[in-house]
Structure 1
Amino acid sequence: MKKVVFLCFLFCLSFGYSQKKALQAQSTSQSITIDGKLDETAWENVPIASDFIMFEPDNGKPIPESQKTEIKVIYNNDAIYIGAMMYDHEPNKILKEISQRDNFGTADIFGVFINGFNDGQQNFEFFVSAADVQGDCIMTDAIGEDYSWDAVWISKARITDKGWIVEMKIPYAALRFSAENKQTWGINFFREVKRERRKYTWNLINTKIGTFTQQNGELTGIENIKPPTRLFFMPYASYYLNAADGQKTYGTIKGGMDIKYGINDAFTLDAILVPDFGQTKYDDQILNLSPFEQQFNENRAFFTEGTDLFNKGNIFYSRRIGGAPTIDPELNDHEEVYETVQNVNLINALKVSGRTKNGLGIGILNAVTEKTFATIKDTISGDTRKIVVEPLTNYNVLVLDQRFRKNSSITFINTNVTRNGHYRDANVSGLVWDLNTKANTYNLSGNIKYSTINLDENKTGVFSTIGFAETSGKYRYSIGSDFVTKGYDPNDLGINFYTNYYNFYGNANYRILNPTKLFNSFKVNYNMYAEFNKESGKVQDNNIEANVNLSTVKNNYYGGGITVFPLVSHDYYEPRADNRYVIIPRRIEAWGSISTNYNHKFAIDINPSIAIADEPGRMAYGFDIGPRYRFSDKLLMVYTFSFFRKNNNKGYIDGYDDDGNESTPETIVFANRNVITYSNTITGKYALNSAMTLNLALRQYWSYAENNDILELQQDGTLTPYPQYTENKNSSFYSWNADLSYSWWFAPGSQVSVLYRNSASNFERIIDKEFKGNVNALLNNDALKHIFSVSVKYFIDYNAVKNKFRKRA
């Protein structure tokens, strides 16, 4: 009988967890002051959401009574209000580091997840830390949390002798919902107790199920509200003062505006007029010895915010827009490029995105860049001429993404680049599918993409992939295959390095779903990969990998892995010539990772690695070490030193035929070289309060490749001595970047930014191995540039302006 009762109890418990909780919102006409006190009468006698359940690490465990959490929701014609009381029996231990927006640091967090359509597809998430710092993002199961999305809302957090309180006002303009008179929204509430690294939600998010957005509770009781006109203006003005040794100092004033308009309850238009990206983060440039370009992160807000639709199919690389010119100028004898630009100017850009109530997501992005010239100079006569290095160019992206059964989607995506005049045009179309079983236990994913390049002759290519995976439970696995033709080229508006191959890959892994006596989390991965050249059938790549990642009950993180490349492979890319390859020997690699608990004032990250090839003296090793110290809730400093060395690395340095033509080289020259890289980075933050921060970002980088032996690549992929080549092809690249910035959010959505930046970089063939001398030379030469800038952005809400005029009337 006891067993029956116990089984019934377990059944009821699991049944209760699987049901959606419901909370009723209550309307109010009272004016609410967002001060973190919840002392208005409107908060009285309001239904309470409580009984939170642990999300991580011990999924499903009830929150302790000493940390009970109570949430109330009220609303009026303009906004929804959230009142949250987070009890804590040790309020003096609540962590409350002040940080920048969307970066909570070491602080307790409260959040609310809202889905106005209650369709399990997309959450709008709003967070407040115990230090009164805001964060917000869009969450989808396919992309995860996208913190590039920013909304304008009001909040206040306050610590009391019983715990801490959060009060939030979220205007309807920050949400998406239908125009129905009676609303039922998907909702969930989140709390993280940072000192214990424990996360709780109101409605259980079961980690055994491979979905997040479908496990919301429900908010009822919202009636007779209408989606507002979502029209926002963000005018800005900027001043730049530029200076460099030996050059004239000059100032520049810029101004422009961003516009955001809600076309209807689902779709939004974003446009930038007269763009200004002068205060974006600098790029971490490296000594790039590979046959491929360096890929950079996107730091421009317009191209990062709300772009989850455009990332479908992985054929959109936004750095192409306003990037480097694409046309190499043709030079006559005795001519050189006298003056050119690093990046093409963006004239304007817009995007439309959203999703209908039937699950159809539509995304349109369009941008236009200006016609750009370089100046060519005759070195004998001194005459100059202009030549086009980038014509007027239109970039366009179209996405149609149909979701169904709340957890699956089929997507069509197209990118198109049209250059004015007789220049290269490009088009890529793709069909992408992501199919999950109703219980979210299995997944079938894949895509097929077709590219076309139009110039004098059309060039076409195909990329296709298929994958199958089990996505729930302790034991999971996946298998898949890719097929890519030689002509596949999405690089006018995308980025892709490898073509002309097919591969097969698989993964099996085991994880714990609840903590043990030793671990909060534990995961073991086993991966296998094999890649073959499509035409020759030769092995291009192969590996077998095993790795483990875990966190201890003291919240220290450890990881490590070993990768074996058991077969000789053939690199068709390093020779920079068609149908040529270099043989890569068998090798073994190992890595480790340690990250101590960031809750402590002092923490450290250590990441060593080593690789040993089946060739005498050929190996690579290095490490990153990053100590960090939190001096107070306001001041944090992080230092990272990186060192990496490759011994007897074999790499391309030159190619030509008997006539000196580099386009179809018969002789391909390699070097046996040592490549050594150092970098030092310092980041720091001093928060005056939750709206004002001072930030430091400093990076010093130096990498050099010293050639020991010159080699010639043979037709069979081997390398033989080539002593007759005497040209110096050593490489040394060093750079310096330092940003000191001040940020003040002086009103909701409005910001003042002050930035001082100095930067320099230099590439040389002569290697000076004196580290100090290199740095001093870089900081004291004419290449060091100084920029001081001030930017003011002001947020204007059409509804607020309209209401003010109504009150005056």
Structure 2
Amino acid sequence: MTKYCCFFSILLAFSSHYAFSQKKILLAKSTTENITIDGKINEPVWETASVASDFVMFEPDNGKPISSDKKTEVRILYDNNAIYIAATLYDNEPDKIQKEITNRDVFGVSDHFSVAINGFNDGQQDFRFYVSAAGVQMDCLATEDNEDFSWDAIWDSHVALTSFGWVVEMKIPYAALRFSNAKKQTWGLNCTREIKRDVQTYTWNRVDTKIGAVITQAGILEGIENIQPPTRLFFIPYTSSYYQQSDLGSEVTFKAGLDLKYGINESFTLDAILVPDFGQTKFDNAILNLEPFEQQLEENRPFFTEGTDLFSKGNLFYSRRIGGAPTTDPDLGANEEITNYPSSVDLLNAVKVSGRTEKGLGIGFLNAVTEKTFATITNTQTGETRKEVIAPLTNYNVLVFDQRFNQNSSVTFVNTNTTRNGGFRDANVSALVFDLNTKANTYNLSGDFKYSAINDIESTNGFKTALNFKKTSGRYRYLFSGKYISKNYDVNDLGIIFYTNYHSGLANASYRILNPNHVFNTFKVEQELNVEVQNTFGKLQEAWYKTVIKATTLNNDYFEFALVMNPIETYDFYEPRAADRYVYIPKRVSSYFGFELNRNNPFTFDLTLSAAKFEEQGRFNYGFYASPKYRFNDKFSLAYAVDYLHKRNDRGWVDEDETGIIFAERNREYIQNDFTGKYALNNKMTLNLTARYYWSYANNHQFLTLQNDGHLVQNTVYDQNKNRNFNSWNFDLSYSWWFAPGSEISFLYRNFAQERTNQVETNLGNNINNVFKNNLTNIVSVSLRYFIDYNVVKNKF
């Protein structure tokens, strides 16, 4: 009898898992009626459509059915132009529905409904469309590793608040999706509802959190047949004007250009930008950079952020290379000085084609051209000027082939090429990348092989390879990773890399709870060990052990703690700024603790404390980050953040002379203040304020000479002033109105200033006064973008 009970228990367990893993199916219904997107769902055809219901909790209590008083019903219609989605979201306390009005793609404190559509049903990528209870749209391209909210589609939605809850109505044109040209479509589909006040998320098809993959656990949308989508051809002309005033004078600038989007077929799209204008993109956060590497900047230009998921494969594409700083310095003769050196290179045009075939082959092609750029050089005695090329006419190219298979795996080939006109440096990089998952999404094997070829005065070749194996399901998970990078591996012409010429091994193990307990909603503890060995000298350049604990309480407050120990002496091969030289780094231990109060509360507060101690007399770091935020109502909120770091007796490179490589023992500090404000007139019209003040200094109190063994000895001869004091101020006040889908008018007032000096000023008030005295630049601009659908124009004329 016992063995039969055991057998029955096992069978029941498997059948329960099978029941949970079953994919739900929803049938879309064809319609010829004109569907008005008004949140009323009063067209008769809606009553005949199939209903998706019986939502299940995704988090925190995974697998728990939604309560009857939060019942959710979704219906889908389609015609030759679009699919139409109607969601009825019941709520027994409709007055408690959260509905903060935010900018597009900002979630805020609101309830949300979303649909995730995979037109190829291959478990690889979702097109996700969100609507908040305030009517704000959010959309993204999502893979298992990334959600790209920089992608903005053109679609329509409307929300209605009711006595029983709220209603969402959406129209998603086929132009916003990618799918095969099959007569009978089968799409992956999942619908999600977030109830903000309870911090609960529900999905239509259950997503089991014991499994690492989410997209493969979607349901199925069927019923879309014999559609004939219209031509996907869109024009986005734009015009802008700028008035700039500073101590050097004033100028007025007018610009106009055109973005073009063309659907080659249902799967592939061509994007082109002519006469680009990025004048209203977010400012860069300038810092005092004393590191041996360049500052890596965020990409804020829409063309290079929208729909670029294919181009991010292999991490070989750093788009700020295109139109970035010039690549060379001019040669100066006797009595010559540079009187004009452009800080960036103008982009002439750019085009990209991307899409995926019915058999899962993704193809991406991106090409951009930047113009020839000159520096002006003046002879200080004769006054004669001449120009010298600092950036030649340059072509940048990225080509990607990404084959998906088995619902959750892929193999990718990537090639990047930089060709500069004339006798300048050229570069070519190729990569083969693979990501393989078991059918049940429990284990993952991934890796790559990359090869770089540089054609310069001295040509070089290099390679990089990595292999990773990890368990991706259950409470206990682990990862083993190995990597080798050769000395001459270089992707910095179109990508970005800092550390090369080493091999490494990493091991990671973690435990997490999958459902809330009597103390925590979520809890995770992680252990990690990493060792990196420099290839040429066989010395350790990194060796650390890390423990990280992350938890969310039942009140939805978040805590995180980390302890990192470097118990072995290591060596830095980059700080000396010279080949085959290195500097000793002592043993050290560092830690941080942070917490974040429940973000649903009107007042929230983030705080992180950090510290590091080196096994070196008087050398330590400490810092903090604090950010209070207050939401006055659903329209108005203010936030402040301060980030502070102090490095006591820090050691770093300052110079190289005939005596050798000079380091300094120094005190360093930086403080960054960010102030943001938002006032939403409605869900299409907002006022935004962003202000940033940054101050950093390095005060040298002892100079040192680098020895051949990597240690430093006191230098009593060197007496140059290598102190640094840097101030940066940025202020943006903008008004944005999305007056039609894809069409926007925006006004921006911006002022900014920077101050660099080698005279350290330790008084914060004096630094603020100095930066405002240092050539404060003011810009007022207005920009208009208008979305034109070829089909609308064709039908009118």
- The answer on 1:258 being equivalent to 2:259 is yes
Give the equivalent residue in structure 2 for 1:331: 332
Within a 5 Å distance, the mapping from 1:691-730 to structure 2 comes to 691-730=684-723
CA distance in 2, matches of 1:743, 1:190: 29
CA distance in 2, matches of 1:567, 1:117: 50
Give the equivalent residue in structure 1 for 2:766: 773
Which shows bigger deviation, 281-290 or 180-189?
Answer: 180-189
- Partner SS for 2:312: helix
| Shift, 1:13, TM fit | 4.0
| Shift, 1:507, TM fit | 0.4
- Kept in 2: contact 1:178–1:227 (CA 8 A): no
Within a 5 Å distance, the mapping from 1:387-536 to structure 2 comes to 387-536=388-537
| Shift, 1:467, TM fit | 1.1
| Shift, 1:180, TM fit | 2.8
Give the equivalent residue in structure 2 for 1:792: 784
Give the equivalent residue in structure 2 for 1:733: 726
- Kept in 1: contact 2:564–2:590 (CA 8 A): yes
Q: Which blocks of at least 5 consecutive residues in structure 1 are unaligned?
A: 658-665
Give the equivalent residue in structure 2 for 1:58: 61
- Partner SS for 1:312: helix
| Shift, 1:668, TM fit | 0.5
Change (3 A) 1:6 1:575: closer
Question: Which residue among 216, 235, 238 is the counterpart of 1:236?
Answer: 238
| Shift, 1:277, TM fit | 0.6
CA distance in 1, matches of 2:509, 2:713: 42
Q: Which blocks of at least 5 consecutive residues in structure 2 are unaligned?
A: none
State the number of aligned residues.
Answer: 794
Question: Which residue among 106, 130, 138 is the counterpart of 1:127?
Answer: 130
| Shift, 1:92, TM fit | 0.4
Give the equivalent residue in structure 1 for 2:744: 751
| Shift, 1:179, TM fit | 2.8
Give the equivalent residue in structure 2 for 1:662: none
CA distance in 1, matches of 2:380, 2:93: 76
- Kept in 2: contact 1:630–1:637 (CA 8 A): yes
- Kept in 2: contact 1:177–1:227 (CA 8 A): no
CA distance in 1, matches of 2:765, 2:81: 60
Question: Which residue among 156, 162, 165 is the counterpart of 1:163?
Answer: 165
- Kept in 1: contact 2:754–2:774 (CA 8 A): no
- Kept in 2: contact 1:643–1:678 (CA 8 A): yes
- Partner SS for 1:249: strand
Give the equivalent residue in structure 1 for 2:42: 39
Give the equivalent residue in structure 2 for 1:214: 216
1:499 maps to a residue whose letter is T
Q: CA RMSD in A?
A: 1.4
Q: What TM-score results when the alignment is normalised by the length of structure 2?
A: 0.98
CA distance in 2, matches of 1:482, 1:123: 30
- Kept in 2: contact 1:364–1:397 (CA 8 A): yes
| Shift, 1:250, TM fit | 1.1
Q: Once the two structures are superposed, what CA deviation does each residue of 1:426-456 show, in whole Å capped at 9, x if it has no partner?
A: 1111111111111111111111111111122
- Partner SS for 2:224: strand
Which shows bigger deviation, 3-12 or 170-179?
Answer: 3-12
1:623 maps to a residue whose letter is F
| Shift, 1:45, TM fit | 2.8
Give the equivalent residue in structure 2 for 1:669: 662
- Kept in 1: contact 2:181–2:358 (CA 8 A): no
Change (3 A) 1:52 1:804: same
1:362 maps to a residue whose letter is I
| Shift, 1:228, TM fit | 2.6
CA distance in 1, matches of 2:565, 2:665: 23
| Shift, 1:768, TM fit | 1.6
| Shift, 1:715, TM fit | 1.0
1:480 maps to a residue whose letter is S
| Shift, 1:113, TM fit | 1.1
CA distance in 2, matches of 1:367, 1:398: 12
CA distance in 2, matches of 1:67, 1:513: 23
CA distance in 1, matches of 2:11, 2:504: 50
- Partner SS for 1:319: helix
- The answer on 1:378 being equivalent to 2:371 is no
- Kept in 2: contact 1:374–1:386 (CA 8 A): yes
| Shift, 1:184, TM fit | 2.3
Give the equivalent residue in structure 2 for 1:608: 609
Q: Once the two structures are superposed, what CA deviation does each residue of 1:270-315 show, in whole Å capped at 9, x if it has no partner?
A: 1000000111101111111111100001111111111111111111
- Kept in 2: contact 1:179–1:226 (CA 8 A): no
| Shift, 1:11, TM fit | 5.1
Question: Which residue among 99, 110, 113 is the counterpart of 1:107?
Answer: 110
Give the equivalent residue in structure 2 for 1:20: 23
Within a 5 Å distance, the mapping from 1:67-146 to structure 2 comes to 67-141=70-144, 143-146=145-148
CA distance in 2, matches of 1:706, 1:184: 65
1:338 maps to a residue whose letter is T
% identical aligned pairs: 56
CA distance in 2, matches of 1:799, 1:538: 64
1:796 maps to a residue whose letter is I
CA distance in 2, matches of 1:270, 1:30: 32
Change (3 A) 1:6 1:165: farther
Q: Once the two structures are superposed, what CA deviation does each residue of 1:600-636 show, in whole Å capped at 9, x if it has no partner?
A: 0000000110000001100000000000000110011
CA distance in 1, matches of 2:14, 2:437: 26
Which shows bigger deviation, 31-40 or 272-281?
Answer: 31-40
Change (3 A) 1:6 1:38: farther
Give the equivalent residue in structure 2 for 1:636: 637
- Kept in 1: contact 2:734–2:747 (CA 8 A): yes
- Partner SS for 1:499: coil
Within a 5 Å distance, the mapping from 1:360-379 to structure 2 comes to 360-379=361-380
| Shift, 1:804, TM fit | 2.7
Which shows bigger deviation, 511-520 or 340-349?
Answer: 511-520
CA distance in 1, matches of 2:519, 2:240: 54
| Shift, 1:223, TM fit | 2.2
- Partner SS for 2:634: coil
1:667 maps to a residue whose letter is G
CA distance in 2, matches of 1:435, 1:555: 35
CA distance in 2, matches of 1:261, 1:287: 43
- Kept in 2: contact 1:58–1:515 (CA 8 A): yes
1:680 maps to a residue whose letter is N
| Shift, 1:31, TM fit | 1.4
- Kept in 1: contact 2:245–2:778 (CA 8 A): yes
Which shows bigger deviation, 748-757 or 795-804?
Answer: 795-804
- Kept in 1: contact 2:37–2:158 (CA 8 A): yes
- Kept in 1: contact 2:30–2:224 (CA 8 A): yes
- The answer on 1:184 being equivalent to 2:200 is no
2:442 maps to a residue whose letter is T
- Kept in 2: contact 1:179–1:225 (CA 8 A): no
CA distance in 2, matches of 1:643, 1:173: 46
- Partner SS for 1:439: coil
| Shift, 1:8, TM fit | 6.9
- Kept in 1: contact 2:356–2:362 (CA 8 A): yes
2:186 maps to a residue whose letter is T
- Kept in 2: contact 1:291–1:574 (CA 8 A): yes
| Shift, 1:7, TM fit | 7.4
Q: Once the two structures are superposed, what CA deviation does each residue of 1:646-682 show, in whole Å capped at 9, x if it has no partner?
A: 000011000023xxxxxxxx60101000001111110
| Shift, 1:403, TM fit | 1.1
Which shows bigger deviation, 334-343 or 179-188?
Answer: 179-188
CA distance in 2, matches of 1:733, 1:547: 34
1:621 maps to a residue whose letter is Y
| Shift, 1:248, TM fit | 2.1
Give the equivalent residue in structure 2 for 1:661: none
- Kept in 2: contact 1:427–1:452 (CA 8 A): yes
2:511 maps to a residue whose letter is Y
Give the equivalent residue in structure 1 for 2:274: 273
2:301 maps to a residue whose letter is R
Give the equivalent residue in structure 2 for 1:663: none
